[in-house]
Amino acid sequence: MPIETVFEGKVKYIQVIDKDGNADEKLDPKLPKDLLLRMYITMVVTRMFDDKALKLQRQGRIYTYPPCLGQEAAQIGSIAALNEEDWFFPSYREHGGYLWRGTEMKWMFVYLMGSELGMKIPEGKHNFLVSIPIATQTLHAVGAAWAAKILNHKVATMVYFGDGATSEGDFHEAMNFAGVFKTPTVFLNQNNQWAISVPRKKQTAAKTIAQKALAYGFEGVQVDGNDVLAVYRATKEAIDKAHRGEGPTLIEALTYRMSHHTTADDWTKYRDSAEVEQWKERDPVKRFRIYLERNGYWNEDLEKKTVERATSEIEKAIEEAESMKLDNPEDVFMYTYSKMPPHLVEQMNELMEYLKNKS
């Protein structure tokens, strides 16, 4: 007899705050005021950090930089739902996630200046390193979650990636493994519509990215990624489910990259400015600010003070980063092996001798 496979599943869509700042009272998670304010302030600081970093790169003061303009809600709404014991696995654009999880801005700038020192994780923080290769961090997150499950550690892992990453084999391998072994993993897809110059429609013929989870035997959810409360709600449900031992979740946060892929890119070469303007109407920071103002939690004076304080903190961080001695050529050879193999020792000695003679 032929084997009949029956699988029931569907993808739900969550939006709490619309583009005009109106909230759905039934879906509003009704978060405490202090948490709401921390989320908003971190979104503002993330945007200001992003703007400053872009300018620093244009001035030649840091290296290649990946802007996150427009993705603040997808990042902060999700990271805010994690417990301190849970693990954060970023790609290369999650600046807001690092700020939320306690990384000082000066070290973020140090990293962008090309030093390994900037990637030192704060003591006691369950943050992973920036991952530049596309989708490789999905495997790391699932592996860590599986290890936690084996050790009976009640923690979850959350991994961030873009729409382009869903075309990589690593993503599908990670999803399959997570589904089979029911790992406590949350896959947070920031679908910002463009993988450099390749639009989302050329990544998949599926109607949603979220539905890919169904093929691997677990839940997929799609949210308005520019709605910080919708992202928080979906992520909190997924994290709680992971903590209960009920397996992984894929969250597709529909958002938009309003700037360049990186400073080596020029978005004007491949997309219409009208498209960007259309997405600006769904600005996640503006939308959340309206929500807070309507609840009596925010006003113009608080906004001004926040911007002034953030400006001062950013400038101080830059000053501290630029005052450090970062040109240590030995770093090129460090941090890969616990004990450096002979061929790397030989290469390092050769380089140091060359630099010594050159000076």
Other C-beta atoms within 10 Å of 78: how many?
A: 31
Phi and psi (nearest 5°) for 53?
A: -65, -40
Backbone angles phi, psi at 221, to 5 degrees: -130, 140
Is 150 buried (19+), middle (13-18) or exposed (0-12) by CB count in 10 A?
A: exposed
In which band, very low, low, confident or very high, does the pLDDT at 59 lie, cut at 50, 70 and 90? very high
Residue 61's closest CA among 332, 314, 331?
314
Q: Among residues 58, 153, 244, 270, which one is catalytic?
A: 270
- The encoded tokens of residue 271 equal 């997309």
The verdict on whether 257 is a catalytic residue reads yes
Read off the pLDDT band of 359 (50, 70, 90). confident
Q: pLDDT at position 2, please? A: 42
> Is it the case that residue 132 has pLDDT exceeding 70?
yes
Burial 90-101 (b: 16+ CB within 10 A, else e): bbbbbbbbbbbb
- pLDDT tens sequence across 227-240: 999 999 999 999 99
pLDDT grade, residue 9 (50/70/90)? low
Which residue do the tokens 């450096």 mark?
340
List the catalytic residue out of 257, 260, 282, 289. Answer: 257
- What does the pLDDT read at residue 335? 79
pLDDT tens-place string over residues 205-220: 999 999 999 999 999 9
At residue 3, the pLDDT reads: 43
Name the strand (E) or helix (H) holding 236. helix 228-243
Contacts of 265 (CB under 8 A, 6+ apart): 196, 197
In the chain, the percentage of residues whose pLDDT exceeds 90 is: 89
Categorize the per-residue pLDDT at 329 as very low, low, confident or very high, splitting at 50, 70 and 90: confident
pLDDT in tens, 256-292: 999 999 999 999 999 999 999 999 999 999 999 999 9
Query: Where does residue 98 fall: left (phi above 0), alpha (psi -120 to 50 degrees), or beta otherwise?
Result: alpha
Which of 261, 282, 287, 289 is catalytic? The answer is: 261
270 is catalytic: yes
Q: What residue type is assigned to position 150 of the chain?
A: I
Strand partners, 190: 162, 253
Question: pLDDT band at 8, cuts 50/70/90?
Answer: low
Q: At what angle do helices 105-112 and 33-58 cross, to 10 degrees?
A: 30
The CA distance from 80 to 220, in Å, is: 20
- Residues 235 and 248: their CA atoms lie apart, in Å, by 11
Residue 327 · residue 355 · CB < 8 Å: no
- Whole-number average pLDDT of the chain: 95
The predicted model scores a pTM of: 0.93
For the cut 90, the answer to whether the pLDDT of residue 4 exceeds it is no
Q: Say what the pLDDT of residue 120 is.
A: 84
Place of tokens 């597709």: 252
Give the residues across from 224 on adjacent strands: 254
* 253, 238 contact by CB (below 8 A): no
Q: Does residue 6 register a pLDDT over 90?
A: no
* Buried-exposed string 21-36: b where 16+ CB fall within 10 A, e elsewhere: eebeeeeeeebeeeeb
| Sign of the alpha-carbon torsion through 213, 170, 247, 29 | negative
Query: What pLDDT does 116 receive?
Result: 80
Predicted confidence (pLDDT) per residue in 66-113, tens digit: 999 999 999 999 999 999 999 999 999 999 999 999 999 999 999 999
Q: CA-CA distance, 29 to 295, in Å (whole number)?
A: 14
What pLDDT was estimated at residue 119?
Answer: 84
